[in-house]
Amino acid sequence: MSELPRQIGPFRVLRRLGVGGVGEVLLAVAHGAGGFEKRVALKVLREELRGDPDYERVLLEEARMAARFEHPNLVGVHDVGVSNGVYWVRMDWVDGADLAALMGTGEEREAVPEAVALAVAHGVTEALAYLHGLKDEAGRSYGLVHRDVSPTNVLMGRNGAVKLGDFGLAKATRHREDTAAGVRKGKYAYMSPEQVRGGVLGAASDQWAVGILLAEMITGRRPFDGEGPLETMERIREAAEPALAGMAEDVAAVVKRCVKRDAAERYERTEALSAAVGALRARRAGSDARAVGEWVRGRLRDGE
């Protein structure tokens, strides 16, 4: 892994927050007059990709699209710049960790308390409902699909914040021909049957990922996991109704609808899914931001 720069443009770099296939996210400090300081997240391309015009275009397109978003459950994008040939995108910093890090892996993996899991799922569905419903100035839908709803892209704060991030895979389907997922980006375990098949994706594909995410949080397992990627993808193609042992019936009913093999049998609109999760959340005590923050702080103490 490359050595961190001390400075990128006007920002002092503190540490690396995460690395993806194309970019990396850094924790940095912005300085202003009178001793002003604010911690921010900077997204930059990985060192070996910097200077490549194709990847730079993707980074800038992602930033321009995300700058349109204004929702409490989405990571905010504030500005873009270039310093010494390095393009950067300034985003909200969430003081916490992503859901994957908080749950852990292998034998250290821990399920999320049901009430907290419902609060997280509700935040994610609210963000998706906003994205799916976003319209341009003429009132036409952008047809946005996130395409990578997964634990590493769900950021959770010590203050109870839940924010969906990483819009690098999101696609505006209106006026475009590349709505098919022939190149299987994203994380295969959360892909819908239509995404695994390389079909055309819509909002229902993100709903599938929410169902997988919710089941995983509560049970500690993903319903279609196999021994490896190929077996998992085959199970996803078949999409037999999962058993969901140990899950409350009302929660399981929502999950099962999300993971219907036929996208048309899922929720007609993501707003309906969000309302269903919100209703589940309202019936549980401790399904609020305070409980989410307490769980996050407890998990970070355990891991530090």
Catalytic residues: 148
Are the C-beta atoms of residues 36 and 42 closer than 8 Å to each other?
no
Partners of residue 15 on adjacent β-strands: 27
Q: How far apart are CA 87 and CA 93, in angstroms?
A: 18
| Pair type for strands 144-145 and 86-91 | unpaired
**DSSP one-letter string for 81-132:** EEETTEEEEEEPPPSEEEHHHHH-SGGG--PPPHHHHHHHHHHHHHHHHHHH
- Provide the 8-state DSSP code for 49: G
Q: Which two tokens stand for residue 17?
A: 């927050």
Long-range contacts: 66-71, Cβ < 8 Å, 24+?
66/91, 66/167, 68/134, 69/130, 69/131, 69/134, 69/167, 71/126, 71/127, 71/130
Provide the token pair at 260.
Answer: 């219907």
Query: Secondary structure of the chain: what % helix, strand, coil (to 5)?
Result: 40, 20, 40
Nearest partner of 113 among 304, 301, 295, judged by Cα: 295
Sign of torsion over alpha carbons 15, 18, 23, 28: negative
Give the torsion sign (CA, 37, 24, 71, 255).
Answer: negative
Q: Mapping DSSP to helix (H, G, I), strand (E, B) and coil, where does residue 218 land?
A: helix
The tokens for 210 are: 């929410």
